[in-house]
Structure 1
Amino acid sequence: MGVLRGLESLGLVPAGLVGVSMGAVVAATWALREDWYRALVAMETSGFPRPLGSLPGERPGALDRLREWSGLARAGWDMFVGWGVGAPAVPAGEAALKDLTRGGRLEDGRAPVAVVATDLRSGGRVVLEAGDAAGALYASAAIPGVLPPQPRGDALLADGASADLAPVDVARGFGCPVVVAVDPGQSLQRHDPKTGFEALLRAVEICQLTHAHLRFEEADLVIRPSFRRTIDTLDFDARRECVAAGIRGVRARREDLLALLRSASV
C-alpha cells in the first residue's frame, strides 16, 4: 500500500502489477477501485485471527510467557486436527475480499494484474490473471497452517510466497520496460533460539530469506521498506505503519527509480 502511495506522489502509475499473498490483495484492489487506499485501510478484520504473540523470551513476565505458550499450543492443535487457527474466519475473509474487489474479475482492472499462488499438490507456482478476483486473492493469501487451502480444479492452492516471493518474470511478461519489486521482509529476530521449535522456525526463515534474495535480484529495482519494529503477519492493526514504511522506501529510492525510467524511455 505504501509503495503505491509513494509512486502516486511522484505522478507514477504502474503499467501492471503482480501480487503475492497480501501483495495480491493490494494489487487487485488498486486495479479494481479508484478508492483502493480508503477501502484497504477500512477493511474489516475483526473476525480474522490475531497474532499469537512473540516467541518466548521476547517479553518479560512469567504470565506473558504462559499466555504465549498457551496460544501456540492452541494453534498447534488447530493445525493438527484441522486446517489452522484461521479456519473459523474464512467466511469473514471471503466476504472482505469480495467487498474489496466489488465482486470484480482480475481482467477487468485498469491495468493487468497477476496473482501468484502455490499448488500444494504439485509444489508448483500458479499464476492467475483472469477470473473471480476475490477467489484468486484468497488462494494467494491462504497461509498454510492458518487458513485452509483453496481447491481449484486439480490443484490445492495456498499462499503464493511458498513457491515464489518475487515473480519478476511474470511482471516482465506484461512488457514493462522497468520492473520494480517490493521486498517487505523483515530482518531476522536478534534473540538467539532457545528451543528446538525456535531453531526450526529460524531455519525455515533463513531458507525463505535466502530464496527471496535470489529472486529479488532479477528486478531492475528493489524497494525495501524499513520497519521500526517487528510486525506480525496477522497484525492487521499495523496497516498505517506499513504504509508509512512503504512511502519512506519510495522516497529513499526516488532518484534511482526516476533515472531508470528516464533511461528506459530513451
Structure 2
Amino acid sequence: MDIEHRYKMVFLNLPENISKIIGDLDNISVERLKSKKNLVFDLSMKSSLDEPQKNYILKYYRTKNADNEYSTLSHLHKQGLVIPSVISYEKPFLLLEKIDGINLCDIINEPLNKINELAELEPEIRKKIIKSIDMLAKWLADLHKHNIIVHQDFKKTIVLNKGDTRLRDFIICRDSKTVYGLDFEESYEGNHIDDLAWICCSLLDTNPGLFELDEPYHKIELMNEFLKQYYEINNSFTFSFNYFADALINNLNTVIKRRGLIVGKLDKKRILNNITEDL
C-alpha cells in the first residue's frame, strides 16, 4: 500500500465490511485527492488474471457531514439522478464508485487560455464547451425540479441544493454523453438560485477568469448560456436578478477569503452588467 505514513492509520481502522470489499491492503494503489475538509482517496486494486482492476473512492470524514452526504446520495440514487453509487457506508467511512471521466473544470478552462471570447475558439472546441455547460445546466435543473420543497406564487422556489457547487464537482464521461455530480456533504434546502450563483462564481473565479483578466467575456458568455439553458428546462422557476447578484458577489468574496487573495473592492456593476436580461 503506497500511502503516506500519516494516513496509514485511516486504512488500518477501516470497518470490516469495507475491508472485505477492498481486500489485501498490499494490493492497493492509493492516491490522495484534493479536499479541504475531509480525506479523500482514489483506490486502485491491482488486476489479476481472474479479476479486472477495480477502482473506488474512499472518503474519511473529519467533519460532521457524513450522514448528510450518505442520506442525500441514497435519496438521489432512488430518483435516478446521475451520481456515483454508494458501495458501502459506515461512519466516518464512505466507499463510492469511481467515475471514469474528465473533470468539467478542465474541459471548460483549458481551451480558454489566451483568448477573450468564445468566437475565437475552433468550432468543434466551442461546441464541446457549450455542450458541457448545457449538460451541467440540465443536471442541476433535474436535481432541483425533482426536489422542490416550496414553490408558491412563482416568487421563490426552495429546493434541495447541492451546496458549495463548483465546476470541479462534476465529471463528464469519456463518451461525452453523461455528466455525474459529486460531493453532497454540504447539501441543504434553500433558494434554487444558490446553486446557480455558485456555478457562475466557479466560472468566474477559475483560471482564466475574473482574477486573471480585466473582462472575462468568455466566462460571461458561458454564464449566460448556463442560466438560459437551466430556465428553459425549469421554466416555472422565477429568476431574481437581485438575489442572484447578491449571492454571486458574496460567493466571490468567500473565494477571495479562502484563497487569501489581495483584491480591491469588487466592482459589482462591472461584473453583472453583461448578464443576460432575457431571464
Q: Same fold (TM over 0.5)?
A: no
Larger relative contact order, structure 1 or 2 (CA cutoff 8 Å, min sep 6)? 1
Structure 1 or 2: more helix by fraction: 1
Structure 1 or 2: more strand by fraction: 2
